[in-house]
């Protein structure tokens, strides 16, 4: 158990004691106020903050709105409950009322803490995020709730989240970061890596939430570009910058679970990048793309480990197991969908997430994991196909 767990134990005990003295009736009123106020805050925060770009200030603002609404709701209904309880004079009934109040208050605190924990687990709030993700108490609460419970918080989670990447781990799964040496400093300047520039493209679009989105992709077959599904989620006509110009692309494959999409467009003379499924832990790779909607960028990196990560799909639903490389290197918004390439210039994986607990850690789907998507995206009949890209993912 970490510091957060012990704080939660103390908080639950304090609320249980308060609930004992207040009684079940007062506690029930207070709990209804706490939960309904908190729910109101969860619904209100996305409305108030939806026009702001994700940031630490927005995350803290969303949490403040929820805590304020929950506190106000609790105070108002607690007062009403106390007036009702004053009418109970029979002692046995008051004893049961006290015990019920203790249990109810303790459970209410755990439920609110869990809801806030789910949201915070996907943010970058320094050591707080790490403590939340490794919390034993919150993990236990999560296991007894229905699997679909976190789905109800998705809109709030999107506002609290400080990044432009989907969640790459379940809310209370500790992140395993293997220490490795930094990538070779000279790797970005090597010829095979520099030559990938002609095959790595910038992708832009406007999603159905009214936000501009950008990411990276790469030519993996004639007239085919691979990227992340969350880059083109809710986008009807993605624009691809390639060969000095801009092409409108069609999405011919969209996998919301794996987080892979395949686009069809005229790639002309852009070289096709081959896949490499042979790399492993401690191998050097280059992280290639257009981070933060900027110019072409290459960062050195190294594979920390190959892992099977359990996480929701790009919409925060269900559970997906992905084979990924955890990377030591700089992964930023806009790198999504870009390749990690070997010193020989071959694609070893597809970037899809950055760590919320460590700024030098990112994640890429392995080349082996995306092979089936590559085959499906080039299958006969896809030349004129177009698939639905669903709702926006942020």
**Residues catalogued as catalytic:** 230, 259, 336
Look up tokens 């981070």; give the residue: 291
Angle value at C-alpha 262, between 256 and 266, nearest 5 degrees: 155
The Cβ-side half-sphere exposure at 372, using a 13 Å CA radius, reads 7
Neighbouring residues of 30: CB distance < 8 A, sequence distance ≥ 6: 19, 22, 74, 77, 78, 81, 105, 108
* Euclidean distance between CA atoms 392 and 394, whole angstroms: 6
Instruction: Report residue 17 as tokens.
Output: 């004691």
Buried b (16+ CB within 10 A) or exposed e, 78-105: beebeeebeeeeeeeeeeebbebbbebb
Which pair of structure tokens corresponds to residue 45?
Answer: 């925060």
How many CB atoms lie under 10 A from the CB of residue 123?
A: 23
Residue 75: half-sphere exposure toward Cβ, Cα within 13 Å: 6
Say how far apart CA 43 and CA 130 lie, in whole Å: 26
SS3 273: coil
Q: For residue 132, give the nearest of 171, 94, 82, 165 by alpha carbon.
A: 171
Q: What is each CA distance from 346 to 37, 141, 248, 342, in whole angstroms?
A: 53, 44, 26, 5
CA gyration radius for the chain?
24
Check if the beta carbon of residue 257 is closer than 8 Å to that of residue 318.
yes
Contacts of residue 279, defined as CB under 8 A and 6 or more positions apart, other chains included, come to: 285, 303, 325, 342, 348
The DSSP result for 215-236, as a single string, is: EEEEEEETTEEEE-HHHHTTBS
């Amino acid at each position: 158990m970490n510091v957060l767990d012990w704080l939660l134990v103390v908080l639950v005990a304090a609320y249980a004691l308060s609930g004992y003295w207040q009684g079940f009736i007062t506690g029930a009123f207070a709990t209804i106020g706490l939960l309904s106020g908190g729910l109101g805050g969860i619904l209100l925060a996305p409305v108030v903050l939806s026009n702001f770009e994700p940031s630490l200030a927005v995350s803290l603002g969303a949490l403040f709105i929820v805590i304020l609404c929950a506190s106000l709701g609790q105070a108002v209904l607690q007062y009403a409950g106390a007036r009702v309880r004053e009418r109970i004079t029979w002692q046995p009934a008051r004893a049961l009322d006290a015990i019920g109040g203790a249990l109810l208050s303790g459970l209410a605190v755990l439920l609110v803490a869990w809801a806030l924990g789910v949201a915070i687990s996907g943010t970058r709030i320094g050591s707080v995020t790490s403590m939340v993700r490794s919390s034993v108490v919150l993990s236990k609460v999560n296991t007894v709730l229905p699997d679909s419970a976190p789905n109800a918080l998705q809109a709030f989670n999107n506002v609290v989240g400080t990044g432009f990447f989907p969640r790459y781990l379940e809310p209370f799964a500790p992140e395993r970061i293997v220490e490795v040496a930094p990538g070779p400093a000279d790797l970005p300047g090597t010829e095979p890596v520099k030559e990938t520039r002609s095959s790595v493209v910038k992708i832009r679009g406007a999603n159905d939430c009214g936000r501009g989105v950008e990411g990276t992709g790469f030519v993996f077959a004639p007239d085919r570009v691979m990227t992340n599904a969350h880059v083109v989620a809710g986008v009807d006509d993605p624009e691809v910058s390639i060969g000095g110009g801009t092409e409108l692309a069609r999405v011919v494959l969209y996998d919301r679970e794996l987080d892979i999409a395949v686009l069809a467009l005229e790639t002309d003379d852009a070289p096709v990048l081959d896949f490499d499924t042979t790399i492993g832990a401690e191998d050097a790779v280059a992280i290639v793309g257009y981070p933060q909607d900027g110019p072409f960028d290459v960062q050195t990196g190294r594979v920390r480990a190959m892992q099977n990560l359990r996480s929701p799909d790009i919409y925060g639903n269900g559970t997906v197991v992905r084979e990924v490389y955890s990377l030591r290197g700089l992964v930023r918004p806009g790198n999504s969908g870009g390749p990690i390439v070997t010193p020989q210039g071959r694609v070893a994986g597809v970037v899809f997430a950055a760590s919320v607990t460590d700024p030098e850690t990112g994640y890429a789907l392995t080349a082996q994991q995306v092979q089936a998507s590559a085959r499906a995206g080039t299958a006969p009949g896809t030349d004129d196909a177009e698939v639905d890209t669903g709702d926006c993912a942020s």
